[in-house]
Structure 1
Amino acid sequence: MIYSVMRKIMSVFLVLAAATIILAANAAAMNGCDSNCISCHKLDKHEAAEIIRELNPGLTVESVQISPSRGLWEIAVKSKAEPKGEKAIWYLDFSKGNIIIGKLIGLKTKENLTEKRNIELNKVDYSSIPIKDALLLGEKSAKHKVIIFTDPDCPYCKRLHDELKKIVAKRTDTAFYILLYPITKLHPEALKKSKSVMCAKSLQLLDDAFDKKPLPEPTCNAKSVDDNIKIAEGLGLSGTPALVFPDGVLIRGAMPAEEILRLLDK
Structure 2
Amino acid sequence: MNFRHLAAAALLPASLLALSACQQDSARPAATASATLAASSAARPAAAASASPDAMAALQQALEQRIPQLNGHILEVNPSPMPGLYEVLASGNNLFYTDAQGDFLLNGSLLDTRTQQDLTADRIDQLSAIAFDKLPAQDAFVTKRGDGSRQLAVFSDPNCPFCHRLEESLAKVDNITIHTYLLPILGENSVSRAGQIWCAPDRVKAWEDWMLRKTAPAAAASCDTDALQRNVRFAEQHNITGTPALVFANGKRVSGAIPVEQIEKLLAESQ
Pairwise same-fold verdict (TM > 0.5):
yes
Aligned residue pairs total: 221
Match of 1:247 among 246, 250, 256: 250
Aligned pairs for 1:15-94 (under 5 A) are 34=45, 39=50, 43-52=55-64, 54-55=66-67, 57-58=69-70, 60-78=73-91, 86-94=92-100
What fraction of aligned residue pairs are identical, expressed as a percent?
Answer: 24
| Deviation digits for residues 131-175 of structure 1 (CA, Å, limit 9, x no counterpart) | 245333334853431211111111121122222223x24xx2x33
Residue 73 of structure 1, CA deviation: 0.7
Q: Is 1:146 the equivalent of 2:152?
A: yes
- Paired residue secondary structure (1:147): strand
Looking at structure 1, the residues matched to 51 and 142 of structure 2 have their Cα atoms a distance apart, in angstroms, of 54
Q: 1:242 to 1:46 in 2, by over 3 A?
A: farther
Higher helix share: 1
- Paired residue secondary structure (1:205): helix
Equivalent position of 1:135 in the other structure: 141
Q: Is 1:205 the equivalent of 2:211?
A: no
Is contact 2:59-2:101 (8 Å) kept? no
Looking at structure 2, the residues matched to 175 and 37 of structure 1 have their Cα atoms a distance apart, in angstroms, of 52
Looking at structure 1, the residues matched to 148 and 192 of structure 2 have their Cα atoms a distance apart, in angstroms, of 31
Residue 200 of structure 1, CA deviation: 2.6
- Paired residue secondary structure (2:188): coil
Is contact 2:139-2:231 (8 Å) kept? no
Q: Is 1:179 the equivalent of 2:181?
A: yes
Q: 1:196 to 1:110 in 2, by over 3 A?
A: same
Is contact 1:72-1:91 (8 Å) kept? yes
Looking at structure 1, the residues matched to 49 and 148 of structure 2 have their Cα atoms a distance apart, in angstroms, of 46
Q: Is 1:162 the equivalent of 2:163?
A: no
Kindly provide the amino acid, as one letter, of the partner of residue 208 in structure 1: D
Looking at structure 2, the residues matched to 67 and 73 of structure 1 have their Cα atoms a distance apart, in angstroms, of 5
| Deviation digits for residues 100-149 of structure 1 (CA, Å, limit 9, x no counterpart) | 10111222322221111011112234323222453333348534312111
Which range is displaced more, 54-63 or 109-118? 54-63
Kindly provide the amino acid, as one letter, of the partner of residue 71 in structure 1: G
Kindly provide the amino acid, as one letter, of the partner of residue 215 in structure 1: P
Structure whose CA Rg is larger: 1
Equivalent position of 2:16 in the other structure: none
- Paired residue secondary structure (1:108): coil
Is contact 1:148-1:177 (8 Å) kept? yes
Q: 1:45 to 1:135 in 2, by over 3 A?
A: same
Q: What TM-score, normalized to structure 1?
A: 0.70
Looking at structure 2, the residues matched to 105 and 252 of structure 1 have their Cα atoms a distance apart, in angstroms, of 22
| Deviation digits for residues 186-213 of structure 1 (CA, Å, limit 9, x no counterpart) | 3322222222222233333223323543
Q: What TM-score, normalized to structure 2?
A: 0.69
Looking at structure 2, the residues matched to 49 and 156 of structure 1 have their Cα atoms a distance apart, in angstroms, of 40
- Paired residue secondary structure (1:76): strand
Gaps of 5+ in 1: 1-32, 79-85
Gaps of 5+ in 2: 1-43
Residue 72 of structure 1, CA deviation: 0.8
Kindly provide the amino acid, as one letter, of the partner of residue 89 in structure 1: L
